[in-house]
Amino acid sequence: MQNKVAIVTGAAGGIGAAVVHALRTRGVVVAAVDRNEVTLRETAAGAGVEAFPADVTSAESVESTVEAVEHALGPVDYLVNAAGVLRMGEARKLTDADWHDTFAVNTTGVFHMSRAVVNRMTQRQRGAIVTVASNAASTPRMSMSAYAASKAAATMFTKCLGLEVARDGIRCNLVAPGSTDTPMLSSMWHDETGPRTTVEGSLGAYRLGIPLGKIARPADIADAVVFLLSDQAAHITMHAMTVDGGATLGG
């Protein structure tokens, strides 16, 4: 992976920032993309990482950003779609804005960035894409309908894209995390019992706990992303790797 070029969205924090770090330690030149410009600059501090503030919900912003990345760093070899938002609430009580904002980032953002990058990758007949989805894409969760639906849509889009571009030597895979120690997870907790309930599960919410007995670190997810980008996964495409400590019982 030495000297390859990667774009990572959602790079300002959480899983995205962990992916940036994991790629950089392997010698990848990283274009860190996020709309939170202040935090993004902190993530991009250091050699081998360059910040490219952008809004993945805007096709124009994405296209100009990808063009700028290739002009500054060279042809993109890897794309990691890690940008994501969470809007909690019962399905029937979600607002139009909750639904729209969730899909704009989690689904349409994946479409915008994947399209812009793949259109360049096909000319070179090589490349690898990993979309960070969620185990909620295949397992119902209380108060997470918009998030789960958006991740399910992103999952199937990525698999369909992978089918279409396999002939061009481009692999498209997914990592589906479960509960991971990020601000997104902590935003779901109401008090100090949150971490324990996450690990033990909640009968009232029909939610299993985590058999491995611990919440994932962002680095755990990043390691899975790096594997799927690497040549070690050279014959893997259209695959969703669940990294949730067994929370969905292998589902």
Kindly list the catalytic residues: 147
Residue 50 class from Cβ within 10 Å (0-12 exposed, 13-18 middle, 19+ buried)?
A: middle
Sequence-separated (6 or more) residues with CB below 8 Å from residue 217: 18, 180, 181
Query: Which residue is listed with tokens 């909640």?
Result: 202
Q: Which of 56, 49, 50 is nearest to 83 (CA)?
A: 56
Q: Which of 220, 208, 222, 215 is nearest to 250 (CA)?
A: 208
- Hey, CA dihedral for 239, 25, 57, 188, is it positive or negative? positive
Structure token digits, residue 45: 């501090």
Residue 58 class from Cβ within 10 Å (0-12 exposed, 13-18 middle, 19+ buried)?
A: middle
What's the DSSP call for residue 182? S
Amino acid making up residue 176: A
Do 154 and 56 meet the contact criterion of CB atoms below 8 Å apart? no
Nearest-angstrom CA–CA distance, 140 and 39? 32
Nearest-angstrom CA–CA distance, 229 and 168? 16
Nearest-angstrom CA–CA distance, 80 and 229? 9
Nearest-angstrom CA–CA distance, 173 and 93? 33
